[in-house]
Amino acid sequence: MSNSVEATPFANRSEIVQFIEEQTAEAVGRALPPRTRRVPWVTSGPVGRDSAGYSVLKAAAYALGYVGPEQAKEEIDTHHRLRDLFAGYGFLPHHGAQSFLVPLASAHLPAFEPHGRQLQEEVRQKMTAHAGRFDPEEADWLQRRTLPVRQKALGTLSGSEGGSFIAPAVLGELIDLQRNLEAFAAAGCREIALPPNGRLQIPRLAAASTAYWVGEGTPLTESQPGTGSLDLQAKKLGVFVKLNNELLRFASPSAEGLVRYDMARAAALKADLAMLEGTGGTQIKGLLTYAGLGTHTASTVGANGNTFEPNDVALMEAKLPDAVEAPTAWMMRKGFFATLVNRRADAAAANDGRGEFLFRSPGSLGAAPPVELLGTRVVRTAQVSANRTKGSATNLTYALLGYFPDWIVARLGVMEFLASGHGDTALQNDMTYLRGIQHIDAGPRHPASFVLCDQLIGS
C-alpha cells in the first residue's frame, strides 16, 4: 500500500509519544483531515464491538451516566445524526437537549436526500444487528429475574389493565414489533411516514361529477366534483416503563429484546385501541366515530342485543362500495368468532343445536375451522369492545368488515427517549424509569370502505 507507515521498533513509551506527535504535526502541516493522519492504530472502549448494533438499554444507561460515551458509541452517533437530520426539516424534541432520539422505524425516516437514505439503511442494520443473537431462554430468565419490567402502563400500572407477561420472541426494530401486535396492521392497513413537521394532508375526491344526456344544440348542465382531504396531525403517544438497573448493566441481546418488546407492546395496544374507538383531540380519532362509515343491523334483532346470522356475512359485504372489489379482513373478538364457528343448526328438535355448522364450509368439518368468513380473513383481537350497550345489556360487542388499505397510519421515524433514576421509589429500589414518546396519527381515506355491525350478543 502506498504512503503506508512502516513498522518501527520503539524502545520505550516516550519514543511512541514522540512518534505520534511528529506524525500528527506533519498531517496538520499538510492540512490533511484527521482520518488520513498516519498514526499507529489505537482504539478505546470495548475491543471488537464497534459494530455491535444499536441498544436501547445502552442509550438509557448513557443518559443516566451508568456507562461512558466510549461504551455507547453507536447510540450517541445515531442520536446526533437523527437530531441533525430532523432539525433540517424543522423538528425539535419536546425536551431539547435532554431528549435522546431512538429509532422507531427506519422505513419512516425522511430519505429525500442521499445522506438521509444512507442513514436509513445504517439505522436498519444497527437495529437488527442483534437479531441472530437473541436467546429466548435467556429472555425467560430475565423476565423472572426482573419482574417489574413486564408491567406496562396503558394509563395505570395494573397488569389487569393492559399489562401482559407474554415473553418476547423476536428482536428487531420497535416498529416491527408494533406491527406484530396491532390489529389494524394484521388487517392490512397502509403505513406511511409522518413528515418531520408532524402534518400530512392527503387530498381525496368526496363527490363525483354528474353526467347528463343532452340533445342536439342543447347546452350541457354544469356539475362540480366535490373534494376534501384526510388531515393527519401528529398525536403524542407516551409509554412509561420501569426496570431494574441490573438490566442496564447486563445489556445482553435478550435484555434488549425484553425492553423493546415491552415498550412496543404498550404503545401498539394503546394506539390500536384509539384507531378503533378514539375520541380525537389529543388522541387518534377512531374509525367507529367517522361519519360515512357503513352500518348494518344484524338479521335477528333483540331488545337487549342482536344476533349475528350466517346471511349477515354476505349482507355486510354487499354494503361496501363498488370501488372495493373485495374486503381484506374482518375484525372481532376471539370469543365472538368462536361462538360463530361453533353455532349449529337444529336437527331433530327445535333449539337442539345438533345440525350442520352454520359458519363453516362442509370441507372443514374434519379439521380446525379456518379463521375466515366467506373467504375473508378474520383478525381476532381483544381491542374490539365487549361493553357495547342496548336495552339492559352492557356486554355486547361488534363486528367490523372493511378494505383496510384505506386506513392510513402515519408515524414519525424516531421516538423521544428520556431516562431517569431520580425520585424516592426509583432511588430506593435501584430502578430506572424510561419514558418514550412517539408521534402518530391515523385515519380513513374513505370511511365507506368499512362496514360496522354493532350491538351484537357475544355468546
Q: Over pLDDT 70: what percentage of the chain? A: 73
pLDDT in tens, 253-304: 667 777 777 788 888 889 999 999 999 999 999 999 999 999 999 999 999 9
Per the model's pLDDT, the better-predicted residue between 69 and 133 turns out to be: 69
Distance (Å, rounded) from C-alpha 302 to C-alpha 306?
5
pLDDT, mean over the chain? 77
Q: Is the pLDDT of residue 74 over 90?
A: no
pLDDT recorded at residue 363: 55
213 versus 369: the higher-pLDDT residue is 213
Q: How many CA atoms lie within 13 A of 309 on its CB side?
A: 12
Task: State the pLDDT at residue 434.
Answer: 81
Give the per-residue pLDDT at 236: 92
Residue 45: per-residue pLDDT: 42
Distance in angstroms (rounded) separating the CA atoms of residues 328 and 376 = 6
In angstroms, the CA 417 to CA 421 distance is 14
Q: How far apart are CA 247 and CA 114, in angstroms?
A: 37
Radius of gyration of the chain (CA): 29
| Whole-number percent of the chain with pLDDT over 90 | 29
Structure confidence at residue 233 as a pLDDT band (50, 70, 90): very high
- Can you spell out the DSSP letters for 202-219? EEEEEE--------TTPP
Closest by CA position to 272, among listed 220, 229, 331: 331
pLDDT of 28 > 50? The answer is no
Choose among 103, 163, 108: nearest CA to 127.
103
Q: Which of 152, 113, 150, 107 is nearest to 128 (CA)?
A: 107
Higher-scoring residue by pLDDT: 126, 365: 126
Grid coordinates given for 245 = 438497573
CB 391 within 8 A of CB 304: yes
Q: Are the C-beta atoms of 285 and 409 separated by less than 8 Å?
A: no
Q: How much is the average pLDDT of 199-223?
A: 84
Q: What is the pLDDT, as a whole number, of residue 393?
A: 95
pLDDT at 445 over 70: yes
173 band by pLDDT with thresholds 50, 70 and 90: confident
In order of their start, the domains of the chain are 134-204+228-285+417-444 (no CATH), 289-407+447-456 (3.30.2320.10)
Segment holding 62, helix H or strand E: helix 56-64
pLDDT of residue 132: 59
Distance between CA atoms of 241 and 262, rounded to whole angstroms? 8
- Helix 73-87 with 56-64: angle, nearest 10 deg: 90
- Is the predicted pLDDT of residue 70 greater than 70, yes or no? yes
430 secondary structure, DSSP code: T
Q: pLDDT band for position 147 (50/70/90)?
A: very low
Q: For residues 182 and 237, what is the distance between their CA atoms, to the nearest angstrom?
A: 15
pLDDT value, residue 400:
97
Give the number of other CB atoms < 10 A from CB of residue 44. Answer: 10
